[in-house]
Chains A and B, each alone.
Chain A
Amino acid sequence: MDIYLPIANLSVNAFVIILLGGLVGILSGMFGVGGGFLTTPLLIFYGIPPTVAAASASTQVTGSSISGVAAHMRRKGVDFRMGAILVAGGLVGTIIGTGLFQILQSWGQIDTVINVLYVLMLSSIGGLMFKESLQSVRALRAGKPLPARKRRHHPLVANLPFRWRFYRSGLYISPIAPFVLGLLTGILTMLLGVGGGFIMVPAMLYLLGMGAQVVVGTSLFQILFVTIASTMMHSMTTRAVDIVLASLLLVGSVTGAQLGAKFAQRMRPEYLRLALATMVLLVAIRMALGLGFQPDEIYTVQPL
Chain B
Amino acid sequence: MNRPHSLSARLFALFTIAMLTVAATPVLVPEVSQDRISIRGDFNGAQLLLFGAITYPPGTRNTDQADIVVVLKGPVKSIVVREKQQIAGIWINAASSEFRSAPGFYAVASSKPIDEIVDGKTADIYELGLHHLQLSPVGAIDNRELDRFVDGLVDLNSRGNLFKNLPNSVKITNSVLYQARINLPASVPVGDYTAETFLIIDGRVNAAEVKDITIEKIGMGRFITNLSQNNGFLYGLIAVFISVFLGWSAGYLFRKM
Question: Footprint of B on A, CB under 8 Å?
Answer: 1-4, 6-7, 9-11, 59-60, 62-67, 70-71, 108-109, 111-112, 116, 228, 231-237, 239, 241, 243-244, 246-247, 250-251, 254-255, 257-258, 291-295, 297-304
Contact = CB atoms under 8 A, between A and B. Distances in A.
- Name the 8 nearest CB pairs between A and B, nearest first: A67-B251, A235-B236, A299-B152, A63-B247, A254-B250, A11-B186, A66-B247, A236-B232
A6 B233 contact: no
Nearest to A235: B236
B247 A254 contact: yes
17 contacts: A6-B220, A10-B187, A62-B240, A62-B244, A112-B90, A228-B240, A239-B235, A243-B238, A250-B247, A251-B246, A257-B250, A293-B91, A297-B156, A298-B152, A299-B82, A300-B82, A300-B84
Among A62, A109, A301, A304, residue most surrounded by chain B Cβ atoms (within 10 Å): A301
Contacts of A302: 79-80, 82
Contacts of A299: 81-84, 149, 152-153, 155-156
Given A67-B248, A235-B233, A254-B251, 4 more contacts: A2-B186, A246-B242, A292-B91, A297-B84
A231 B240 contact: yes
Interface string B167-194: 0000000000000000000110110000
A59 to B, nearest CB: 5
A241 B242 contact: no
B236 to A, nearest CB: 3
A47 to B, nearest CB: 10
A281 to B, nearest CB: 19
Nearest to A288: B90
Nearest to B234: A235
B131 interface: no
A233 B232 CA distance: 9
B120 interface: no
B206 to A, nearest CB: 35
Nearest to B92: A112
A164 B79 CA distance: 52
Interface residues of B, number: 61
Interface of B: 39-45, 77-84, 86, 89-93, 96, 98, 102, 149, 152-153, 155-157, 186-187, 189-190, 217, 220-222, 224-225, 228-229, 232-233, 235-240, 242-244, 246-252, 254
A300 B44 CA distance: 23
Contacts of A291: 89-91
B251 A70 contact: yes
B236 A250 contact: no
B166 to A, nearest CB: 22
B250 A236 contact: no
Contacts of A71: 251
A59 B42 contact: no
Contacts of B77: 303-304
Contacts of B155: 299
A63 B246 CA distance: 6
Nearest to B245: A63
Contacts of B244: 62-63, 66, 228
A241 B86 contact: no
A6 B81 contact: no
Given A11-B186, A232-B237, A62 B243 contact: yes
A82 B157 CA distance: 50
B221 A6 contact: yes
B251 A10 contact: no
A150 B187 CA distance: 56
Among B40, B186, B220, residue most surrounded by chain A Cβ atoms (within 10 Å): B186
B175 to A, nearest CB: 40
Nearest to B84: A298
B224 A237 contact: no
Contact of A304 (B78, B217, B237): B78
A295 B86 CA distance: 10
Given A257-B250, A258-B254, A9 B243 contact: no
A298 B83 contact: yes
B232 A239 contact: yes
A251 B243 CA distance: 9
Given A67-B251, A112-B93, A231 B243 contact: yes
